[in-house]
Amino acid sequence: MEPIDLDLEESELELPSEPMHLNMGPSHPAMHGTVRIVLELSGETIVKSDVQIGYLHRGFEKMCERGTWTQVFPYVDRLNYVSPMLNNVGYALAVEKMCDIQVPDRCQWYRMILGELARISDHLTCNGAMAMELGAFTPFLWYIKAREMVWDILEEETGARLTHSFGRIGGMASPPTPALKEMCRTAIPAILKLVEEGEGMLLKNRIFIDRLEGIGNISQKDAIALSWTGPCLRSTGVPYDVRKAHPYLKYDEVDFDVPVGTSGDNMDRFLVRLGELRQSARIILQACDRMPDDGPVNVDDPRVILPAKGDVYTTIEATIQHFKLVMEGAKVPKGECYSYTEGGNGELGFYLVSDGTGTPWRVRIRPPCFPITQGLSDLINGGMLSDIVPTFGSLNMIGGECDH
């Protein structure tokens, strides 16, 4: 045994005075495995930070240029993978804008219901994960339990829990199931009750409040200049919501509010998401009341919609149409267009360039997380090391979308 009470010289006990460099991520659990932050620390205070993304880059935009317009749907599922339905709807709307197609009313309500369900799932995941990263595991389980109900409905409708690939140009893959409305009306009160229970556990907890209030503030002006959208922008008090400012589908016919915060700190972002979740529940219930039970879901447009299977086997016209749509893809008129919808994290935009063929020339996604993650440095500089976790959690960075 070596003696451990060695006489150390005093010089060896002095702490180094130069700033310490620290790598946070990509394997840090709070960094989603896809973000690395190189930090320069003075004690426990962050002096400088460099946020590096790209650990999940899968070449989404390059892949889109290789297939047909319809073959992009499975890729958009994998962008924001906690609300894939919103991406499906966003991309479908973008291509329909280029083709000058308006889907039938029933499909619009259907898309709204599925999209808002996905938004609920997105906000539940974000708030639950944020609480869990601060050590509150029970609310996380509560929120995941609520999300499970949402996913059960989506699974019933689309056949998949996560990657639905359910959108189609000019409609949806299949019409709503007869039980959709009943499932929504049953699940929503149960979800809201769970949300309230989780909220009660968190918002009366001194540790949770102290970790969130006044941390990660951003001003309205900075948030706009950084191109922030969605709950993160609304938490600063800017009431910009694409569904209100530039309504699409039937959002101008339903009654809902846009929750806004005041100071743009972590707590505001948390509360804005909870508020939006309740508004989404309101939208779903209104849409359930107004969605017709019968009628077409897909447009009657042979240029983009596959014919009925029975016709393919029995008529030559439908066979040819089916063959051309599958082999060459739907022909989208030549030109460029930018279509934007309100995704889970903000404005989800698709900038499409077509050369008139069945293959996209360029599909550019405007991922809402990308500029939001860009602002992370400004939020954490000058703060404490431990505040990175709630701040980063409140931004809701989704790796698939940020790194597309």
Query: Within 13 Å, how many C-alpha atoms sit on residue 342's CB side?
Result: 26
Residue among 184 and 218 whose Cβ is closer to other proteins: 218
The C-alpha atoms of residue 128 and residue 320 are separated, in whole angstroms, by 50
Q: Does 205 bind other proteins (CB under 8 A)?
A: no
Q: Does 54 bind other proteins (CB under 8 A)?
A: yes
CB of 357 to other proteins, least distance (A): 9
Structural contact between residues 20 and 49, judged by C-beta atoms closer than 8 angstroms? no
CB of 298 to other proteins, least distance (A): 22
Residue among 61 and 213 whose Cβ is closer to other proteins: 61
Residue among 290 and 362 whose Cβ is closer to other proteins: 362
The dihedral of CA 349, 354, 356, 360: what is its sign?
negative
Residue among 176 and 264 whose Cβ is closer to other proteins: 264
Q: Does 96 bind other proteins (CB under 8 A)?
A: no
Q: Does 347 bind other proteins (CB under 8 A)?
A: yes
The C-alpha atoms of residue 123 and residue 61 are separated, in whole angstroms, by 26
The C-alpha atoms of residue 284 and residue 184 are separated, in whole angstroms, by 8
The C-alpha atoms of residue 229 and residue 224 are separated, in whole angstroms, by 8
Distance (Å) of CA 355 to CA 8, 152, 267, 351: 74, 40, 46, 14
Q: Does 141 bind other proteins (CB under 8 A)?
A: no
Q: Catalogue the E-assigned strands of 142-250.
A: 167-168, 171-172
Pick from 38, 40, 41, 61 the residue near other proteins by CB under 8 A.
61
Residues 241-260, one symbol each (x = binds other proteins by CB under 8 A, - = not), give: ----xx--------------
User: Which tokens in the block code for residue 148?
Assistant: 């499970």
| Residue partners of 102: CB distance under 8 A and separation at least 6 | 96, 299
Pairing mode, strands 347-354 and 335-342: antiparallel
Q: How far apart are the first and last CA of the chain?
A: 56
Pick from 224, 258, 312, 385 the residue near other proteins by CB under 8 A.
224
Structural contact between residues 88 and 73, judged by C-beta atoms closer than 8 angstroms? yes
Residue among 267 and 352 whose Cβ is closer to other proteins: 352
Q: Does 48 bind other proteins (CB under 8 A)?
A: no
Pick from 19, 28, 30, 71 the residue near other proteins by CB under 8 A.
71
Pick from 366, 387, 394, 398 the residue near other proteins by CB under 8 A.
366
Residue among 98 and 132 whose Cβ is closer to other proteins: 98
Q: How many CB atoms lie within 10 A of CB 255?
A: 8
Q: Does 282 bind other proteins (CB under 8 A)?
A: no
Q: Does 200 bind other proteins (CB under 8 A)?
A: no
- Residues between 292 and 331 with contacts to other proteins, criterion CB under 8 A: none
Pick from 216, 349, 393, 399 the residue near other proteins by CB under 8 A.
349
| Residue partners of 349: CB distance under 8 A and separation at least 6 | 338, 339, 340, 341, 365, 366
Binding site for other proteins (CB under 8 A): 52-54, 57, 59, 61-63, 65-67, 71, 97-98, 222, 224-228, 238, 240, 245-246, 335-338, 340, 347, 349, 351, 353, 359, 361-362, 364, 366, 370-371, 373-374, 403
